[in-house]
Amino acid sequence: GNKAAEKAPLEGTMEENTMKVMEIAPVEFMGGIIPVDLTDTSEDGKWALSYFTGLQSAENVTDVAVYESMMGSQAFSLVLVRTAEGADAKAVAQEMKDNIDPRKWICVGADEIMAAGYADTVMLIMVDSQLGLNAQSYVDAFAQVAGADLDFTI
């Protein structure tokens, strides 16, 4: 059968799980959760969804949390999304990774981008290695939060 469907989905909201990942792999700058309103289908809403997740529409996701720097330009973005029932988590992850702009901060850029999936949850991590961070440590933290091996990392 569908391997991902047999796994129990992550409990809690994407915001709660994002904070768990950040507790395991903290950053030194002031960061926080940035809300993304999936019901906002206006131009602004579509722009925000694409800017933060790389997704062109919210049809395959039901919950999104974004953790980024609240002060100044730090090229760091951790995004967790819960995929909709029937959606292909790996395809969602690939779309996010392919379409996210690692230079969206203008003056700084991320040089490491990874996406990973567990059951119905996808994580996208972008970091600037000059911050002394690496994407893999967030993938590892995500696996710790999941309490199991991830389904994929791309």
3-state secondary structure string across 42-104: CHHHHHHHHHHHCCCCCCCEEEEEEEEECCCCCCEEEEEEEECCCCCHHHHHHHHHHHCCCCC
pTM of the entire structure?
0.93
pLDDT tens across the length of the chain (154 residues): 455 456 889 999 999 999 999 999 999 999 999 989 999 999 999 999 999 999 999 999 999 999 999 987 899 999 999 999 999 999 999 999 999 999 999 889 999 999 999 999 999 999 999 999 999 999 999 999 999 999 999 9
Residues 6+ apart with CB under 8 A from 17: 10, 65, 80, 121, 145
